[in-house]
Chains A and B, each alone.
Chain A
Amino acid sequence: MNWMAKSRPSAAAPAIAPTKPGPSSGAANASLRVRTSNGLKEFLWLMSDVPHARVLDLGPVWQATVNFFLDKGYRISTDDLLGTWKEFVSAEEERLRAAPLTEEGYSARLSVSSLADKFLENALQYTENSFHGVLAWDLLDYFDPAVSARIMDRLFDILHPGGAVLALFHSRAPERFHRYRIIDTQTVELVSASTLAVHARVFQNREILELFAKFRSSKTFVGRDQVREGLFLK
């Protein structure tokens, strides 16, 4: 894989490094909880020549992240996929509790696949080739494989040819649930949040590549915190 067609940004910093003065402790600075993201740096570099690039952030909306992209002249869309999924599942459970069991099999209506299909009838409803970049963060770790596969299919469709997806994968179940807020071009802040979903699985490398099978190239960065950052090009 040759990602060197463009002039490279300055030499990559260590995968995990404190970006503020202070001690470094593995994945994050103890006081600020930040991590250095070479995947983000590469992600931004890929879009650096696209005027008014469109970015989809699948995490919650943050002032810092919005400002970061708007200052670059990008257009940012946010769609808190995990939050939307949780609301959807709660609503479905509520609906099924109230529905009679005689219409169809209760278990069939609650199957993950059918839930995923129904979820995507309303979620990620963007036109094809809409975005030059998608920030998926570590969300795929929290979805059932059947849901993740459908989400990836949808992301592939809405991604512009040549566009990139940045996804993070934990090598072990994380101790806490975090959301990610961009601080600068290669630093993200880990924001502790109430647990929206239980960590579903640890992806093996082969499973990651299967998940992104439609994408034509990939690049992986492994941090000292054992979080793998994958950059996948459509």
Chain B
Amino acid sequence: MWRKSNDARPSPQPASRAAEQPVTTAPVKSTAPAAVPIPAPEKPPVAPSAPVFPSPAARSVVTHDTSAPSSLGPGLKIRGELSGSSDLYIDGETEGSITLLDSRVTIGPSGRVQADVEAREIIIEGTVQGNLKARESIRLTSSSKVQGGILTPRMGVDDGAKLRGKVEMTRAGETKGYSAAAKPAAPAAAYKAAVASSESESSKR
């Protein structure tokens, strides 16, 4: 798992202060230029008080877990267009648009999004002002607050969720735009007849 080329392995030397820092899985650039990319460890990061790595260089390697969702933490704010192919977890503030067609977008409990969101799967735990469009499913948890239209083939709503907007269903995988609420469907002839009949014979009390 921790294979490295011999060139990259430095000769043993006393551990520097920097090398004492704990290993992290945060997706930041490695400071060891010759290090070979390594897969993410399955175990959680180890505290510096319990060293398990044989060499200081190994301890300086920072891992990058490509399967983990990208995340926007609380206190962060992004304005603009977000797109890509990674799952996304938002617990900060976002304005603009979010388009992750093959991915899952989760708006965390502290997340505040003012954007149209289009993704494979959308989970809302926070606040969203904008249209939601999912290819597979949308879930509104009990803490969610959504103002906008919803377009999805499957929808889950927990008790306590707040939605101010319309819901339309699509077939799974179908891509379709939001229909304008201003464009009502034409009433059927029978409905017209019923209304006309009731009009002619009804009387206000």
B191 interface residue (CB < 8 Å to A): yes
Residues of the B chain whose Cβ atoms lie less than 8 Å from the Cβ of A218: 202, 204-205
B192 interface residue (CB < 8 Å to A): yes
B167 to chain A, nearest CB (A): 5
Closest residue of A by beta carbon distance from B197 = A5
- Complex formed: what's the CA distance from A5 to B180 in Å? 31
B169 interface residue (CB < 8 Å to A): yes
Task: Determine if B194 and A46 form an interchain contact, defined as CB atoms under 8 angstroms apart.
Answer: yes
A16 interface residue (CB < 8 Å to B): no
A151 to chain B, nearest CB (A): 15
Residues of the A chain whose Cβ atoms lie less than 8 Å from the Cβ of B190: 5-6, 49
Most buried by A among B155, B192, B193, B205: B205
Task: Determine if B187 and A76 form an interchain contact, defined as CB atoms under 8 angstroms apart.
Answer: no
Task: Determine if B184 and A83 form an interchain contact, defined as CB atoms under 8 angstroms apart.
Answer: no
Query: In residues 39-92 of chain A, which contact B (Cβ within 8 Å)?
Result: 46-47, 49-54, 60-63, 66, 70, 75-80, 83-84
- Complex formed: what's the CA distance from A132 to B130 in Å? 24
A78 to chain B, nearest CB (A): 5
- The verdict on A132 contacting B187 (CB below 8 Å), with A80-B162, A216-B202 known, is yes
- The verdict on A61 contacting B140 (CB below 8 Å), with A127-B181, A129-B184, A209-B205 known, is yes
Most buried by A among B140, B188, B191: B191
Closest residue of B by beta carbon distance from A4 = B197
- The verdict on A1 contacting B203 (CB below 8 Å), with A50-B185, A62-B157, A75-B166 known, is yes
- The verdict on A6 contacting B193 (CB below 8 Å), with A54-B184, A132-B185 known, is yes
- Complex formed: what's the CA distance from A77 to B167 in Å? 6
Task: Determine if B185 and A53 form an interchain contact, defined as CB atoms under 8 angstroms apart.
Answer: yes
- Complex formed: what's the CA distance from A54 to B181 in Å? 9
For chain B, the bracket of interface size reads 35 or more
Task: Determine if A162 and B195 form an interchain contact, defined as CB atoms under 8 angstroms apart.
Answer: yes
Map CB proximity to B onto A207-234 as digits: 1 under 8 Å, 0 otherwise. 0010001001110000000000000010
Task: Determine if B157 and A63 form an interchain contact, defined as CB atoms under 8 angstroms apart.
Answer: yes
A195 interface residue (CB < 8 Å to B): no
Task: Determine if A76 and B185 form an interchain contact, defined as CB atoms under 8 angstroms apart.
Answer: no
B204 to chain A, nearest CB (A): 6
Query: In residues 121-140 of chain A, which contact B (Cβ within 8 Å)?
Result: 126-132
B191 to chain A, nearest CB (A): 5
Map CB proximity to A onto B122-161 as digits: 1 under 8 Å, 0 otherwise. 0000000000000000001000000000000001111101
A106 interface residue (CB < 8 Å to B): no
A107 interface residue (CB < 8 Å to B): no
- The verdict on A49 contacting B191 (CB below 8 Å), with A2-B197, A63-B157 known, is yes
Residues of the A chain whose Cβ atoms lie less than 8 Å from the Cβ of B7: none
B198 interface residue (CB < 8 Å to A): yes
A25 interface residue (CB < 8 Å to B): no
- Complex formed: what's the CA distance from A217 to B196 in Å? 11
8 Å CB contact of B191 from A47, A80, A217 = A47
B161 to chain A, nearest CB (A): 6
A sample of 19 more A-B contacts (CB under 8 A), given A1-B203, A132-B184, is A2-B198, A2-B201, A3-B198, A6-B190, A49-B190, A52-B185, A53-B185, A61-B140, A70-B155, A75-B168, A75-B179, A77-B165, A132-B187, A162-B195, A216-B199, A217-B199, A217-B204, A218-B205, A233-B198
Q: Which chain B residues have a beta carbon within 8 Å of chain A's beta carbons?
A: 140, 155-159, 161-169, 179-182, 184-205
Can you give 18 A-B contacts (C-beta < 8 A)? A3-B197, A5-B198, A6-B190, A47-B191, A49-B188, A49-B191, A50-B188, A51-B185, A53-B185, A75-B168, A76-B166, A78-B165, A83-B162, A127-B180, A160-B187, A216-B199, A217-B198, A218-B202
Q: Which chain A residues have a beta carbon within 8 Å of chain B's beta carbons?
A: 1-6, 46-47, 49-54, 60-63, 66, 70, 75-80, 83-84, 126-132, 160-162, 191, 205, 209, 213, 216-218, 233
Q: List the 4 closest A-B pairs by CB distance, nearest first.
A: A217-B202, A127-B182, A5-B197, A162-B195
